[in-house]
Structure 1
Amino acid sequence: MSFLSIEHLTKSYGTHQVVQRFDLDVQPGEFVSFLGPSGCGKTTTLRMIAGFETATSGAIRIEGRDVTHLPPNARNVGMVFQNYALFPNMTVAGNVAFGLKVAKASGEATRARVAEMLGIVKLDHLADRYPYQISGGQQQRVALARALATSPKLLLLDEPLSALDAKVRLALRDELKALQRTLGITTVFVTHDQEEALSMSDRIVVMSEGRIEQLGTPFEIYNRPKTRFVASFIGTLNILNVEVVDAQSGAIRIDGQEARVGRQIMAAAGSAGCAVALRPEAVTLHDPGNGGNRIRGTIADVAFLGAVVRVKVEIGGSRILLDRFNSPGLPPPLPGESVTLHFSPDDLVPLEAA
């Protein structure tokens, strides 16, 4: 049985529907991310799970119990907000103890639990400080410790890392995932950062305009995007309009040049092969000798990105980006140079309509 089950969930404000028929089953201990641009409905969905927003229709169940219309304090969930929402007049220890006091835990039990949680997030030495006396990263840990102190069955995280600088964000991302695995707590994480979602999640829900565009593992979402939106939102990607010559054999044309796409992939896409996705790292300038696709073009631009060199190639009316690792002994090609691009038929992914 699913730990968290969401069925046909919708949310409307007047005539504007911000969440449309949202269906999701989350397994015990799973880390699921809601990923999408601002305004796609991911935070609204999270707040409905927490009980801070009322669903217009649909059902939310936690361990088989219908919590759709229960208040937040009756759902046994912990939530970390984007701005942490710490109480400025309480110490770090006081903030962590807040939920336990509301639950009327004994003083001794509260002190022991606070000490335990501060030890887990490595802030026991800051117990007597106030929020304004600690860094943003430390405040995030306090908020996380407070959410976990009451032993919730479900942890909800609303972009908890977005206010941090890049270096701290990267470190806390790893710590957060490690803590989630250690505790085994089922977690739903909201983010607009694709790298966060790809690196932390067991599965990702990609959202756009209030609906689910695609649900899958990070590997599936990145390597096999189903729609043009998912393909363009996740990572750098080439999206090419193609002419389908023979869907059964996988024969296509890219700007008049013949190519092939994997037949099993084309069969799965049905009639949606009017556009294909191609990752830059799947394209090379050397022939791997596997009988793959060969497309002629001209170097339009070369960008040095440190570990990666990104090359832009014109092929007729289209442009293809390719990425290759920087090698000090291999200078990049020059603009205007004629080249042949090589890539496998299986690296071309036909896209469905959104």
Structure 2
Amino acid sequence: MSFLVLDHLKKSFGQTQVVKDFNMSIEKGEFISFLGPSGCGKTTVLRMIAGFESPSDGTITINGKNQNGLKTNQRNIGMVFQAYALFPNMTVFDNVAFGLKVAGMQKSEIETRVKEMLKLIHLEHLADRYPYQMSGGQQQRVALARALAPKPQVLLLDEPLSALDAKIRVSLREEIRQIQRQLGITTVFVTHDQEEALSISDRIVVMNAGRADQIGTPSDIYNRPATRFVASFVGTLNMIEATVADPAANTVHIGENLVTLRESIGALKAGDKLSIALRPEAGSLSESAKGDTSLTGTVASSHFLGSVVRTRIDVGGTLISFDMFNSPDKALPQPGETVTLRFAASDLLLVKE
């Protein structure tokens, strides 16, 4: 039986429906990320789990117990916000201890638990400091310790890293994941940053206009996007418009190139248009590159990005980007040069609307 179940969740504000029939089952100890652009409904789902918002329809069940009629403080949920939300007049120790004091825990037990939490986030030496005396990353770690101190059954993280600079974000997200694994706590993480979601999640929910467009592992989401939105939102992707050549042979025209697809074209007829996706890292210009498919075109531009060189080629009026690792002894492809991009037919993905 799943630990956290969201069953036909809906939420409307007036005439606007922001969450539309959302369904998901989350196992105990899973790390789930809700990924999507602003306004897609991901934070609203999180707030319904927390009890800050009531569903317009549907149920939320945690460990077999319906949560709909429970207040936030009755759900045994820990929450970390984007803006830290620490008490400025309290020390680090008192901030972490706050929930334990409200719960009526004995003073000796509180001290032991707070020390455990500060050791977990490696800030034992800052127990007597106030929030204004700490960096943003340190404050967010304190907020995490405060959320975990009462031993919640579910941890909710609402874009906790977005206010931090890039280097701190990377180190802190890895630390959050390590702590989550160590404690085995069921966690739901909201973010609009695809790299964050891909790097730390067991599964990702890609949300679009109040719905879950796709739920899957990071590998599934990246390599096998189910919809055009997922394909375009997660990672850099070439969207190629092709024309069906022979449905029986599963072939299409891309510019002047005839390409055989691995995926079935289905009920499409010769001359029909379809969308195909290709990741930039899939191709190679090397004549010795492995691959059963190729596209020939003209180099439109080439950009040196440090470890990667990103080149765009014009294939029958369609610009296709591809990436290759920088090599000091190789010259960059030059605009106007005719090149052949080689890749495997399985790298081409049919994209549904």
Question: TM-score normalised to the size of structure 1?
Answer: 0.96
SS at match of 2:73: helix
Q: CA deviation at 1:256?
A: 3.6
* Alignment map for 1:280-295 (pairs within 5 Å): 280-288=280-288, 290=290, 292-295=292-295
Q: CA deviation at 1:331?
A: 1.4
Change (3 A) 1:255 1:69: farther
Whether the aligned pair in 1 keeps the contact of 2:291 and 2:342 (CA below 8 Å) is: no
Q: CA deviation at 1:270?
A: 6.6
Whether the aligned pair in 2 keeps the contact of 1:292 and 1:345 (CA below 8 Å) is: yes
SS at match of 1:111: helix
1:323 equivalent in alignment to 2:323: yes
Change (3 A) 1:288 1:48: farther
AA matched with 2:104: K
1:6 equivalent in alignment to 2:42: no
AA matched with 2:60: I
Change (3 A) 1:249 1:64: farther
Task: Find the counterpart in structure 2 of residue 140 from structure 1.
Answer: 140
Q: Which shifted more, 120-129 or 269-278?
A: 269-278
Whether the aligned pair in 2 keeps the contact of 1:273 and 1:352 (CA below 8 Å) is: no
1:157 equivalent in alignment to 2:157: yes
Task: Find the counterpart in structure 1 of residue 222 from structure 2.
Answer: 222
Task: Find the counterpart in structure 2 of residue 98 from structure 1.
Answer: 98
Q: CA deviation at 1:273?
A: 7.7
Whether the aligned pair in 2 keeps the contact of 1:173 and 1:200 (CA below 8 Å) is: yes
- Distance in 2 (CA, whole Å) between partners of 1:2 and 1:247 is 43
Task: Find the counterpart in structure 2 of residue 236 from structure 1.
Answer: 236
- Distance in 2 (CA, whole Å) between partners of 1:46 and 1:232 is 24
Task: Find the counterpart in structure 2 of residue 127 from structure 1.
Answer: 127
**What are the ranges of 5 or more consecutive residues in structure 1 without an aligned counterpart?**
none
Task: Find the counterpart in structure 2 of residue 27 from structure 1.
Answer: 27
Whether the aligned pair in 2 keeps the contact of 1:158 and 1:190 (CA below 8 Å) is: yes
CA-to-aligned-CA distance 1:15-55 (integer Å, 9 cap, x gap): 10001100001011110000000111101100000101111
Identity within the alignment, %: 57
* Alignment map for 1:1-354 (pairs within 5 Å): 1-262=1-262, 265-266=263-264, 274-288=274-288, 290=290, 292-353=292-353
Change (3 A) 1:247 1:114: farther
- Distance in 2 (CA, whole Å) between partners of 1:236 and 1:287 is 25
Whether the aligned pair in 2 keeps the contact of 1:244 and 1:253 (CA below 8 Å) is: yes
AA matched with 2:178: A
Whether the aligned pair in 1 keeps the contact of 2:291 and 2:343 (CA below 8 Å) is: no
Aligned residues: 350
Q: CA deviation at 1:250?
A: 2.3
Whether the aligned pair in 2 keeps the contact of 1:222 and 1:234 (CA below 8 Å) is: yes
Whether the aligned pair in 1 keeps the contact of 2:231 and 2:277 (CA below 8 Å) is: yes
CA-to-aligned-CA distance 1:272-311 (integer Å, 9 cap, x gap): 9810110001011123465612211000000111100000
Whether the aligned pair in 1 keeps the contact of 2:290 and 2:343 (CA below 8 Å) is: no
AA matched with 1:246: D
Change (3 A) 1:3 1:288: farther
SS at match of 1:266: coil
Whether the aligned pair in 1 keeps the contact of 2:289 and 2:342 (CA below 8 Å) is: no
- Distance in 1 (CA, whole Å) between partners of 2:156 and 2:176 is 12
Whether the aligned pair in 1 keeps the contact of 2:33 and 2:189 (CA below 8 Å) is: yes
- Distance in 2 (CA, whole Å) between partners of 1:233 and 1:190 is 15
Whether the aligned pair in 2 keeps the contact of 1:7 and 1:24 (CA below 8 Å) is: yes
